[in-house]
Amino acid sequence: MSSTPIPSSTIVIARDKQLGTGIEIFMVVRHHQIDFASGALVFPGGKVSESDYDSDLRKQAIPPFELDDTQFPLMVAAIREAFEESGILFARSVGGDSLVTNGTVEKLEPYRSQLEKNQCSMAEFIRQEGLSLAMDELHHFAHWVTPDMMPKRFDTHFYLARAPEGHLGSHDGHESVDSTWISPQQALSDADEGKLKVIFPTRMNLMRLAKYSSVEEAITATRLQKTVKVMPWTEQKEAGAMLCIPEDAGYEITEVPMDVVMRS
């Protein structure tokens, strides 16, 4: 019997390359003892927690539109998990126009572990520090659901966001043991050479990101692209067993040999 997918969120945090064209993504390496994607290079993210549904959070958020009860906690979780895992915070001081500075984020550093250990909720954190969640910075990039034949499943929404200016990013040392700013092309090349472990959904989204020459181009394309739910399935074809995804989901490749997927 298939398990129910766990609601989850991820942020693809992007910045323009300092030299040349293209973008860089902040990515973390998951701890080897974590039961899902252990040792893999991933975008910061994780499960939606019960506290992410707190209705008080709506009073402390800047949404670009009226968010429904499904999307709202997903975006809260995305911002919370990004802060926990990367130290990058998508928030503004209440009434402010600009995202918080790196100096402010450094002062808020102790909250990362408190949130991760459930010693403090997101609502308590932003209320105590006079912050509002910058949900208008998040752009719905992708939606992937783990296939139903897998024992542990996630229903994951990916959000694309421009990195706040000056936020350097750092792994938490618990769920993630390393971190890097890396171009999608380099991450894919390192994975192909066996230097990095990259799971299938991450690889597919890196391939999609690799075609953009700037963050602005990526955000514009994301706004125009309809988000299609991707739940991969297997098909037996002449070339062998293939893992397939919908053709209208915005990916140039829609099928990959299963033996390639299993090696990642």
pLDDT at 36 over 50: no
CATH of span 6-227:
3.90.79.10
Rounded to whole angstroms, the Cα distance separating 62 from 98 reads: 12
Span 176-211, pLDDT tens digits: 557 889 999 999 999 999 888 899 999 999 999 999
- What angle separates helix 184-192 from helix 200-209, to the nearest 10 degrees? 140
Rounded to whole angstroms, the Cα distance separating 177 from 201 reads: 21
What is the pLDDT at residue 35?
A: 47
In the 8-state DSSP scheme, what is residue 231? -
What are the structural domain ranges in the chain?
A: 6-227
Q: Which residues contact 211 (CB under 8 A, 6 or more apart)?
A: 252
Residue type at 237 in one-letter notation: K
Helices (H) then strands (E): counts for the chain: 8, 13
Closest CA to 201 of 263, 261, 241, 140: 261
pTM for this predicted structure:
0.91
Span 203-253, pLDDT tens digits: 999 999 999 999 999 999 999 999 999 999 999 988 789 999 999 999 999
Could you give the 3-state DSSP secondary structure of residue 144?
A: strand
Residue pair 12/82 in contact by the 8 Å Cβ criterion: no
Q: How far is CA 229 from CA 113, 160, 181, 212, 222, in A?
A: 32, 16, 27, 22, 14
What is the pLDDT at residue 55?
A: 85
Span 114-150, pLDDT tens digits: 999 999 999 999 999 999 999 999 999 999 999 988 8
| pLDDT tier at 31, thresholds 50, 70, 90 | very low
Span 4-24, pLDDT tens digits: 899 999 999 999 998 888 999
